[in-house]
Structure 1
């Protein structure tokens, strides 16, 4: 191994600095480094290679932080590893300042600062070997090239790895399977029953999830009872049995055999049903009894029209269903008031009793029980044998105390809200008068086809029922326009929504105009087979137009039934059509636009109405539509035109609707003219044919934006005979 040259200590007579070769540094000006500078000053590089024969630097150099060469080890002490091996004392390396003695005799004096000066050995012998190529520091250009190539390789490798990882992630992630079961059920709950059944065909796992009872807590077969088989319906009921709360099997006649063979299985599976409907089903008596016994939580029971329902079923309901709130046994021919009496005695929560076409309502003892309970809010006893005396017992009770001043019975008022007595032939004015001042909460009253009733009793009732909204007086021959005028003056006029006076042939425009003017919330008016004329239709159109205009699409606000009215002509129907698509001139010709003015970044863009056009803002017309329109049911020969006109208005095509009404009016006028005789009959018939042709070729292919934009017309050029 080559000998390492010793460092030379050169004396200097002048001031010495850390960067000068020689000189003397005063003791009082010696720099004192602190912190990391003091630590880094003593860092020296010690090579780990024993075969270094040449070096391109001095024997000892301070550690540089920015150096790119690798370090094998670091010494923190003033090491002597670079000293000459022949030197045996520190005096050969360090010398005292201010002495000119040779290095061999130099010795440091106490208190002096030792400064080591290093000579460059440019022409000296090679004392170290170069670093290996893999650890040798390179130039900046070489480093940049190598770094760029390395980065490219790293990017390629990273992209490849990322692609592989992505593929692995895609192949390993299954969102549906990894999703919690509760969330899967929540997602499936948004599907309709038909869609859930279709999804069950995907796989076995999906089949199990789709028939989970959580999705079938409500089974209403009203929409698909004609499309589902008895086996599928039975499987659905039994699989979701404990979860079912609402079970509506209305019209499911296909379950008749299943009730006979698997009735107990269905009843055992469904133990928590709250609302149960069997209307229109074919079921035997045993299955009904077993199902009622297994479901003590029943609150709503609808068994109307079932001949298999008897008083025995009423007894079971009274014993096992104390929470019953609604019971519908209308048209059950084998049920009478004896069975209903047990239900009323055992079910204190009963609020709704529908028992139409049931015998026994002339029994005053049963009516006395209803009077004492006073818990019914809805009582439907249409087509029954109720009489004036039994109705009085229902309202007054037996032998009530009479007020001497008013001659009225002193009894608590009834809480009835809906009373249906239509087609009770035994009722007269004497029985209806018992309702006066005793049903202040009454909202619906149905007295249709009670042929013995007159204006007097009904007037007294409507004057004392301020919350009345629903009145049906169909087929009452003895009522007149005076009743309608009194109804328009009554306290319930502001709330009245539904009025039915069909087949009351004595009623005409005089009474109906008063109703239309005084009842702003009217929604349904049935007045077919009456003496009303076009005046009533015109007044109804005017009242609906007064409900205003808006930017939303129109909605049906008033239903009018006026067919078989001999005084209603096509002119009145045309007035209704024109009113439905009518837009005031002020709204049609106004130049109100919505503009958005551009301002600073922080300002908000606020649409402002402006009558002038802004060059930077697009013009957006504000389309207006009637808020509500009339749905008219009239003569069947005109009904198709009326329905098509309503369809166009409801979707906002007012221009198209106006064109249809105009063409239909031209056709009707030409048809009337063609039917007259005398001079010019041929010309009138020709005009009628032309009007019919124009009316028949009316198309609705183009949907206009409204009254502001005209519709695009289809080319109607004459073609050749072949085409």
Structure 2
């Protein structure tokens, strides 16, 4: 991921990307206003600076010596930002002959290897140092991974087209996340030029339609990871195209593409049998039929996210579990029709499960979680928020059978008590693994829970919002025992203000992060 860049840095990058015909050696390359060029220099890692721009900062003796010597070039060797946000740089002075020695002494292959560790912006800057560095910086082998997220508002279609022309077959990974101006035409050019692309992120590119997927299908047969999150114009036609031309697809994100139906998933599953991860959050038209197609054709599936797919029921989920035994991450949060039957099927068929998100599945009970815990010993993270029927019995089973548990959300599980936390904290997972416990809106939790959690030496965070029986004193005690822990809680003010309408008294609670 690129760090946040200054405005001049963005201009450097975007000018280069938008005008593929110019190079550092050509007169028109990055012809920015003098003020802009000067402003950008303090942030440059490998940019050349005139010695005159620094001569005021050295003593008079140094000035005289420098004036008598041959022309020199000042390089910023490294930069650092202190706690006050002030950028400080370390400078070294080289003669022109010293600079040339770098290119003469080091073989091109080694210089290219060094350049391969630089990000997009730094490469653009290096391209301005000299003709030799321009050739090295713009070598296609250095442009295998490009992330333009930090420049999303400035990226237009022609930028993508020029990237594809410069990088061609070298490009393996491209992220255009949030680039709202990118459309189908530029993506068609991209697909034609970058046929070795493997990872493509189009998250939030709302102008993208089925046409882009058709282009990818025709030219990008090596595509393995594709993110189409929030590309709301995507339909079943896109999935049909991908299934025909991108059969190596392993990871596909269709979250919030709400025009997708079970017919699209059927086409996808028949063609892309190597799918390992499928994200379907907010695809509200999907029903059990979609899961049955995945069960038949995608046995390698390891991750599936069906958050808010409200038409999914036990019938489809049980079928999925019976055909996809390698599942390690499952999200059914917001699938309100899921019951213990689904948890039982998951426990009996998917023993390698590591992550389960079942928030707002209000029909699941201790019975389902008991089967799950007894069979899925690799569980690491569980989100049971608003599983309102869950009691301490689930925590007992987890403490016995799930020694790897690291994070557990029990928010709004109003039947959980101090005794359940006692079992959890005294177990192997509690003492050796547990890092996060969320207990907000658990009204039966008291300071006794905090006493139990003292034994969880790896604990990093506890959520206690609206746990009205937890006191400041209890939190101070656990913080004294675990000084690095973060505790989030609400507390009422000492004197509650009267009700605005003169009715019954209401507590005005203040957020305190300790």
The CA distance in 2 between the partners of 1:540 and 1:242, in whole Å, is 54
Deviation at 1:268, TM superposition (A): 2.2
How far is the alpha carbon of 1:294 from its aligned partner?
1.5
CA deviation digits over 1:562-611, x for unaligned, max 9? 23322222223322332244xxxxxxxxxxxxxxxxxxxxxxxxxxxxxx
Task: Give the structure 2 partner of residue 516 of structure 1.
Answer: 425
Match in the other structure for 1:573: 475
* Alignment of 1:631 onto 2:486: yes
Inter-CA distance 238–578: structure 2 relative to 1 (3 Å threshold) = farther
Q: Residue by residue, what CA displacement relative to the aligned partner does 1:527-582 show, whole Å, maximum 9, x if unpaired? A: 212132333233323431xx7xxxxxxxxx5222223322222223322332244x
CA contact (8 A) 1:437 1:464 kept: yes
Q: Structure 1: 5+ residue runs without aligned partners? A: 1-169, 398-412, 548-556, 582-628, 638-670, 677-723
TM-score (norm 2): 0.70
Q: Distance in 1 between matches of 2:312 and 2:385?
A: 19
**TM alignment of 1:317-332, pairs within 5 A:** 317-332=242-257
Q: Secondary structure at the match of 2:367?
A: helix
State the distance in 2 between where 1:530 and 1:193 align.
48
Q: Give the SS at the match of 1:565.
A: coil
Q: C-alpha distance in 2, partners of 1:369/1:543?
A: 40
What is the aligned partner in structure 1 of residue 449 from structure 2?
A: 536
Matched, 1:194 2:126: no
Whole-angstrom distance in 1 between the partners of 2:250 and 2:371: 32
Q: 1:501 aligns with which of 410, 418, 423?
A: 410
CA distance 1:308–1:205, change in 2 (3 Å) = farther
Partner of residue 561 from structure 1, selected from 463, 474, 479:
463
Residue 273 in structure 1 maps to residue 197 in structure 2: yes
Instruction: Give the equivalent residue in structure 2 for 1:139.
Output: none
For residue 324 of structure 1, give the secondary structure of its aligned residue in structure 2. Answer: coil
Q: Distance in 1 between matches of 2:262 and 2:231?
A: 16
Contact 1:361/1:367 (<8 A) preserved: no
Q: Does 1:451 align with 2:362?
A: yes
- Which deviations, in whole Å up to 9, do the C-alpha atoms of 1:6-33 show, x marking residues without a partner? xxxxxxxxxxxxxxxxxxxxxxxxxxxx
Q: Provide the aligned C-alpha RMSD in A.
A: 3.1
Going from structure 1 to structure 2, the CA distance change for 1:229 and 1:580 (only over 3 Å counts) comes to farther
CA distance in 2, matches of 1:283, 1:445: 33
Q: Deviations over 1:408-454 (max 9, x none)?
A: xxxxx822222211111112223433334222222222211011222
Q: CA deviation at 1:319?
A: 0.8
- Aligned equivalent of 2:174, options 231, 237, 247: 247
What does 1:465-484 correspond to in 2, within 5 Å?
Answer: 465-484=376-395
Could you say what secondary structure the match of 1:342 adopts?
helix
Residues of 2 paired with 1:230 and 1:317: CA distance? Answer: 22
Matched length: 397
Residue 293 of structure 2 corresponds to residue 438 of structure 1? no
Structure with greater Cα Rg = 1
Residues 628-707 of structure 1: matches in 2 within 5 Å?
Answer: 629-635=484-490
User: SS where residue 456 of structure 2 aligns?
Assistant: helix
TM-score, scaled to structure 1: 0.51
Note closer, same or farther for the CA distance 1:326–1:542 as it changes in structure 2 (3 Å cut): same
Where does the alignment leave 5 or more consecutive residues of structure 2 unmatched? 1-94, 497-514
8 Å contact from structure 2 (residues 177, 205) kept in 1: yes
Superposed CA offset, 1:183-203 (max 9, x none): 222222233333223333445
Structure number with higher relative contact order (C-alpha < 8 Å, ≥ 6 residues apart): 2
Does the aligned pair in 1 maintain the 2:343–2:369 contact within 8 Å?
Answer: yes
| Number of the residue aligned with 1:66 | none
Q: Secondary structure of the equivalent of 1:187?
A: helix
Q: Distance in 2 between matches of 1:451 and 1:365?
A: 23
CA contact (8 A) 1:361 1:390 kept: no
Measure how far apart 1:237 and its partner are. 4.4
Contact 1:337-1:359 at 8 Å conserved across structures: no
